[in-house]
Amino acid sequence: MAGFVCRVPSAAGRGRPAVWAVAQANVALVKYWGKAPGPGHQPATTSVSLTLDGLTSAARVEERRANRPDRVAWAPPGPVADLARFVGHARTQLGIARPLDVLVTSNFPVAAGLASSASAYAALTTALAALAVDPPSVDRLAALARHGSGSACRSMFGGFVQWRPGDDARAVTQLAAPEHWPLAVLVAVSGSGPKRVPSRDGMRRTQETSPFFDAWLATNAADLAAVREAVGSRDLRALGTAAERNALRMHATALGADPPLLYWEAATIAVVREVWRLREDGVPAYFTIDAGPQVKVLCNPGDSQRVGQALAGVPGVSHVLRSRPGGAPRVLREPPEWAFASCPPPAVGRGRA
Ligand code: 2P0
């Protein structure tokens, strides 16, 4: 399909091209699960993530005529009130005077534990920055993206990314570029519907009611040190061991909430057991699980075929997504091929609303 640029008539009567940006989801190796007081979403602890190539969100922004409200949409539908609040905040921060038409879409299951809000807000922040008269540094943009969704600040960078509490320019940093370590990441998808309890609510409930929450906070320093060391030395065994431990402790803490939070399905446990079985057979594969039933598995690229087949054979797994360390967000002048369906035909009833 040939590309086209989404155009609507501008106030001056000339077509004004929309700006698109894409950003990748990230998977946390040391989880963010708990907040500190403060504006935006401040983390209680330091987290480390890996940006995931190919699990992509795209955002389109275009200016509307003056005196119109912002118009925002997720496709498929997402939490629009949060999105609208973020767009208002970002316009103020970036000095964008004109109201905006905003569309956010993703090429993978939304709100199912695949960090779609992270990539969505990272893509949107990047697209909005392209409209700013004086675009801020990526550090400032990461701080802005955090106001949409905490984990979005990590998707503002490629590769291995650390996010620590604080508002300074070094709060979010790249630990290593995607090329540093060509790991394979396989996602065993076992349910694509929205999760029962959104992460934000689950995180709050855990923090407020789980008797294990303080113990969870106390584990952060050791897991962080282990993951940082393993990334630096490209030690899959050390990375995987720490990531599994950290994920299981996060879920154990959430299970202790009142009422309890269980993000897993039967297939989630079956995949965990399959990963452990692979290891017993000598294949170095390690899992992590975010706030949903999907299991993400890290392995060497040379083992990804075998691991992918094993995961696809687990009852309840509908399909397996293949990823690897991904890059930073990018601005595009036209929509990515997969997002064409989200881009309405040019100028149909638009611009006069
Ligand atoms: C993470 N998660 O570190 C953890 C692990 C889910 C499990 O960050 O309230 O959508 O918008 O800041 O970023 C999901 O939480 O929450 C998340 P808000 P967010 O990836």
Higher confidence at residue 17 or residue 299? Answer: 299
Q: What is the 3-state secondary structure (H, E, C) of 216-278?
A: HHHCHHHHHHHHHHHHHHCCHHHHHHHHHHHHHHHHHHHHCCCCCCCCCCHHHHHHHHHHHHH
Query: Which ligand 1 atom is nearest residue 198's CA?
Result: 10
Least confident of 20-29, 78-87, 100-109, 339-348: 339-348
Tell me, what's the pLDDT at 115? Answer: 61
Tell me, what's the pLDDT at 305? Answer: 98
Distance from the alpha carbon of residue 237 to the mean position of ligand 1, in angstroms: 25
- Helices and strands of the chain, counted as H and E runs: 9, 15
Distance from C-alpha of 242 to C-alpha of 48, rounded to nearest angstrom: 11
The structure tokens listed for 188 are 């065993």
Least confident of 219-228, 235-244, 314-323, 343-352: 343-352
Q: What confidence tier does 132 reach under pLDDT thresholds 50, 70, 90?
A: very high
* pLDDT of 14 higher than 60: no
- Per-residue model confidence as pLDDT tens digits over 276-308: 999 999 999 999 999 989 999 999 999 999 999
Higher confidence at residue 80 or residue 126? Answer: 126
CA 44-146-26 angle, 5° bins: 85
Pairing relationship of beta strands 100-106 and 47-63 according to DSSP bridges: antiparallel
Among protein residues, the one with the nearest Cα to ligand 1's atom 12 is 150
Tell me, what's the pLDDT at 13? Answer: 37
Tell me, what's the pLDDT at 343? Answer: 54
**Domain-wise residue ranges, the chain:** 19-339
- Per-residue model confidence as pLDDT tens digits over 160-177: 999 999 988 899 999 999
The structure tokens listed for 23 are 């950003």
CA 123-127-129 angle, 5° bins: 115
Query: Which ligand 1 atom is nearest residue 151's CA?
Result: 13
Among protein residues, the one with the nearest Cα to ligand 1's atom 20 is 28
CA 126-136-10 angle, 5° bins: 60
The pick from 203, 217, 223, 248 for probing ligand 1's pocket by mutation, whose C-beta has the most ligand atoms within 8 angstroms, reads 203
Q: What confidence tier does 195 reach under pLDDT thresholds 50, 70, 90?
A: low
* pLDDT of 116 higher than 90: no
Ligand 1 pocket, CB under 6 A: 28, 31-33, 41, 47, 115, 117-118, 149-151, 199-200, 290-291
Tell me, what's the pLDDT at 133? Answer: 87
* pLDDT of 4 higher than 60: no
Q: CA–CA distance from 263 to each of 169, 252, 273 (Å)?
A: 34, 11, 17
For 99, what's the count of Cα atoms within 13 Å in the CB-facing half-sphere?
14
Q: Please check whether residue 18 is in contact with residue 61, taking contact to mean a CB–CB distance below 8 angstroms.
A: yes
DSSP string for 12-51: TSSEEE-EEEEEEEEEEEE---SEESSSS-EESS-EEEEE
Q: Please check whether residue 78 is in contact with residue 120, taking contact to mean a CB–CB distance below 8 angstroms.
A: yes
CATH 3.40.640.10 for domain 19-339: no
Q: What confidence tier does 337 reach under pLDDT thresholds 50, 70, 90?
A: confident
Higher confidence at residue 68 or residue 211? Answer: 211
Query: Which ligand 1 atom is nearest residue 150's CA?
Result: 12
Name the average pLDDT for the chain: 89
Among protein residues, the one with the nearest Cα to ligand 1's atom 7 is 290
* pLDDT of 326 higher than 50: yes
Cα 220 versus chain centre, distance: 20
Q: What confidence tier does 156 reach under pLDDT thresholds 50, 70, 90?
A: very high
* Highest mean pLDDT of the ranges 5-19, 167-181, 190-204: 167-181
The reported pTM is 0.92
Tell me, what's the pLDDT at 75? Answer: 84
